[in-house]
Structure 1
Amino acid sequence: MSSIKVGRNDACPCGSGKKHKQCCLQVRQQAAPLPKTQGGAMGSPAELLSQAIQLFVQGHDEAAASRCQAVLQRVPSQPDALHLCGLIGLRQGRPLEALQFIDRALSSEPANDTMHSNRGIVLQALGRHEEALTSLRRALDLDPRGIAAWTHQGLSLMALLRLDEAELSFRAGLDLAPSDAAALNGLGQCLLRAGRLDEAARVLTQACIADPQSVTARTNLGVVHAALGRHEEALVDFQQLVALAPDRAESWDRLGGLLQEMGEAEPARDAFTRAYQLEPQPARLLRKSLVLSHVHRSLESMREERQQFEAQLEALLAAPAAPAEFDMSSFLPGIFSLAYQGDDVLPALRKLATLYLKLFPGLAWTAPHVTRPADGGRGLRIGFFTSYVHDHAVAHCFAPLMQALVENAGFEIHLISHRQLPLGEGRRPYAGYTGRFVEVSDRLTDARQEIAALELDILVYQDIGMEALSYFLGFARLARLQCVMGGHPVTTGLPEMDVHLSSSLGEPDDAQAHYSERLVMLDAIPASCEQPTLPSRFKSKLELGLPSEGNLYVCPVMLQKIHPDFDRAVAGILEADPHGYVVFFKHASLPLDRHLRSRFEQTIAPELRERVLFLPWVRNRDDFAAINALAAVILDPFHFGIGSTAATTMAVATPFVTLPGKFLRGRVGLAYARMLEVEACVAIDAADYVRKAVQIACDPALRDRLSAGIQENRSRFFDNQAYLAQIRGYLASGREGPGAAPRKLMDN
Structure 2
Amino acid sequence: MHLLPSNLIIFPNWLQPEELLYLDLERVIKTIATHPDSNKIILFIDTTSIYEEDADLVVSSVLMNLLLLEDLDVTEEYEISLLGNADRIEWESIVSCIHARIILENENQELLTSFLVKNIPSYKVEDLSNIPLGQLVFNLSKKLFLEERWKEAITQYQKLLEMQSGDADIYWNLSHCYRHLNLLDEYFNTLQQGIKLYPTHERLHFSLIIDFRQNGRIQEAILSADHAAKCFPDDYTFQLLKYLTVPSIYDSQAEISFYRQRYTQGLQNLIQRTSLKTTEEQNSALAGIGRLTNFFLSYQAQNDIDLQRQYGNLVHEIMAVNYPQWCVPLSMSKLQPNNKIRIGYVSHYLHSYSGTLWLTGWLRHSNHESFQIYCYYTGNEPDPITKQFQEYSDAFHHIPDNLPAACEQIIVDKLHILVFPEIGMNPQTMQMAGLRLAPVQCVAWGHPVTTGLPTIDYFLSSELMEPKNAQEHYSEKLIRLPNIGVSYPKPYIPPVIKTRSDFQLPDDAVIYLCCQAPFKYLPQYDFIFAEIAHCVPQAKFLFLRGTLLQPRLKGAFAAIGLNSEDYCVFLSIPERLDYLMINLLSDVYLDTFTWSGGNTTLEAIACNLPIVTCPGEFMRGRHSDSFLKMLGVTDTIAENEAEYIEIAVKLGLDLAWRSTIAERMSQNHDRLFDDKACVVGLEAFYKQVCSKH
Q: TM-score, normalised by structure 2?
A: 0.73
Task: Establish whether residue 622 from structure 1 lines up as the match of residue 577 from structure 2.
Answer: yes
Shift of 1:186: 9.6
Residue 225 of structure 2 aligns to which amino acid in structure 1?
Answer: F
* Pair 1:691-2:691 in alignment: no
Deviation track 1:525-570 (CA, whole Å, cap 9, x = no partner) reads: 1233332333333422222211222311212211111111221211
Secondary structure, aligned partner of 1:394:
coil
Deviations 1:212-240 (A, max 9, x none): 52223443555687689776665354233
Q: Please give the per-residue CA displacement for 1:29-52, whole angstroms capped at 9, x wherever unaligned.
A: xxxxxxxxxxxxxxxxxxxxxxxx
Moved more, 486-495 or 697-706: 697-706
Residues in 2 aligned to 1:575 and 1:175: alpha-carbon distance in whole angstroms = 75
- Per the alignment, do residues 714 and 277 of structure 1 end up closer, same or farther by CA in structure 2, a change over 3 Å counting? same
Which residues of 2 match residues 645-660 of structure 1 at below 5 A?
645-660=600-615
The within-5 A match list for 1:240-259 is 240-259=193-212
1:666 lines up with 2:616 in the alignment: no
Post-superposition Cα deviations, 1:698-746, rounded to whole Å, max 9, x if no partner, equal: 2233223322221122223322122232223323x0x333783xxxxxx
Q: Which residue of 2 aligns with 1:317?
A: 271
Partner of 2:148: 198
Cross-structure match for 1:14: none
* Aligned 1:637-648 pairs, distance under 5 A: 637-648=592-603
Aligned match of 1:352 in 311, 314, 328? 311
Equivalence for 2:348: 387
**Aligned CA distance change for structure 1 residues 320 and 620 (closer, same or farther; 3 Å):** closer
Shift of 1:622: 3.2
Q: Deviations over 1:84-132 (max 9, x none)?
A: xxxxxxxxxxxxxxxxxxxxxxxxxxxxxxxxxxxxxxxxxxxxxxxxx
How far apart are the structure 2 equivalents of 1:233 and 1:197?
A: 21
Q: Does the Cα contact within 8 Å between 1:208 and 1:218 map onto a contact in 2?
A: no
Counterpart code for 2:638: A
- Tell me whether 1:465 sits opposite 2:420 in the alignment: no
For residue 502 of structure 1, what is the aligned residue in structure 2? 461
Paired residues of 2:313 and 2:452 also in contact (CA < 8 A): no
Matches within 5 A, 1:717-736: 717-731=672-686, 733=687, 735-736=688-689
SS at match of 1:641: coil
* SS of corresponding position for 1:416: strand
Maintained 8 Å contact 1:297/1:599: yes
Partner of 2:188: 235
CA contact (8 A) 2:349 2:378 kept: no
**SS of aligned partner of 2:504:** coil
Q: Does 1:679 align with 2:634?
A: yes
Question: What are the residue-to-residue correspondences of 1:290-309 with 2, within 5 Å?
Answer: 290-309=244-263
Distance, in Å, in 2 between the alignment partners of 1:619 and 1:490 is 28
Contact 1:465 1:471 in 2 (8 A): yes
**In 2, Cα distance between the equivalents of 1:523 and 1:308?**
39
Quote the Cα distance in structure 1 between the aligned partners of 2:429 and 2:420. Answer: 8
1:550 corresponds, among 486, 509, 516, to: 509
| The one of 363, 366, 371 aligned to 1:402 | 363
Q: CA RMSD in A?
A: 3.5
Judged with a 3 Å threshold, the aligned counterparts in structure 2 of structure 1 residues 333 and 686 are, in CA distance, closer, same or farther, namely: farther
Q: Which structure 1 residue ranges, 5 or more long, are not aligned?
A: 1-25, 27-169, 587-591, 741-748
Q: Map of 1:435-584 to 2, 5 A cutoff?
A: 435-584=394-543
Cα deviation, residue 457, structure 1: 1.6
SS at 2:298's partner residue?
helix
Q: Which whole-Å CA distance do the structure 2 matches of 1:342 and 1:496 have between them?
A: 25
Matches within 5 A, 1:73-222: 198=148, 212-219=165-172, 222=175
Residue in 2 aligned with 1:266? 219
Give the drift of 1:641.
0.9
Change beyond 3 A, Cα 1:603–1:365: farther
TM-score (norm 1): 0.68
Moved more, 683-692 or 280-289: 280-289
CA contact (8 A) 2:422 2:444 kept: yes
Counterpart position of 1:275: 228
Indicate the percent of aligned positions where both proteins have the same amino acid. 25
How far, CA to CA, are the matches of 1:522 and 1:228 in structure 2? 45
Tell me the secondary structure at the aligned position of residue 479 of structure 1. coil
Quote how far apart the aligned CAs of 1:307 are.
Answer: 1.4
* Structure 2 counterpart of 1:599: 552
CA gap 1:576/1:675 in 2 versus in 1, 3 angstroms:
same
TM superposition shift of 1:264: 2.0
Contact 1:188 1:200 in 2 (8 A): no
Structure 2 counterpart of 1:628, one-letter code: N
Give the count of matched residue pairs: 559
Contact map agreement 1:249 1:278 (CA 8 A) in 2? no
Provide the C-alpha distance between the structure 2 equivalents of 1:428 and 1:228, rounded to a whole number of angstroms: 32
Contact 2:420 2:444 in 1 (8 A): yes
- Does the 8 Å CA contact 2:315/2:434 hold for their aligned counterparts? no
Alpha-carbon distance between aligned partners in 2 of 1:569 and 1:438, rounded to the nearest angstrom:
47
Change (3 A) 1:624 1:251: closer
Change (3 A) 1:368 1:628: closer
Q: CA deviation at 1:438?
A: 1.4
Q: How far apart, CA to CA, are the structure 2 residues paired with 1:175 and 1:568?
A: 71
Aligned CA distance change for structure 1 residues 318 and 693 (closer, same or farther; 3 Å): same
Mapped to 1, the partners of 2:586 and 2:196 lie a distance apart of 48
Quote the residue 1:82 is aligned against: none
Please give the residue correspondences for 1:700-711 in structure 2 after superposition, counting only pairs within 5 Å.
Answer: 700-711=655-666
Residues 1:418 and 2:368 are matched in the alignment: no
1: CA distance, partners of 2:125 / 2:158: 15
- Between the aligned partners of 1:171 and 1:400, the Cα distance in structure 2 is 52
Q: Amino acid of the residue matched to residue 610 of structure 1?
A: E
Distance 1:475 1:174 in 2: 57
Aligned residue identity for 1:487: G
Mark the CA change 1:522 to 1:468 in structure 2 (over 3 Å): closer, same or farther.
Answer: same
Aligned to 1:39: none
Task: Specify whether residues 381 and 208 from structure 1 end up closer, same or farther in structure 2 by C-alpha distance, changes over 3 A only.
Answer: farther
Give the CA deviation at 1:684. 1.1
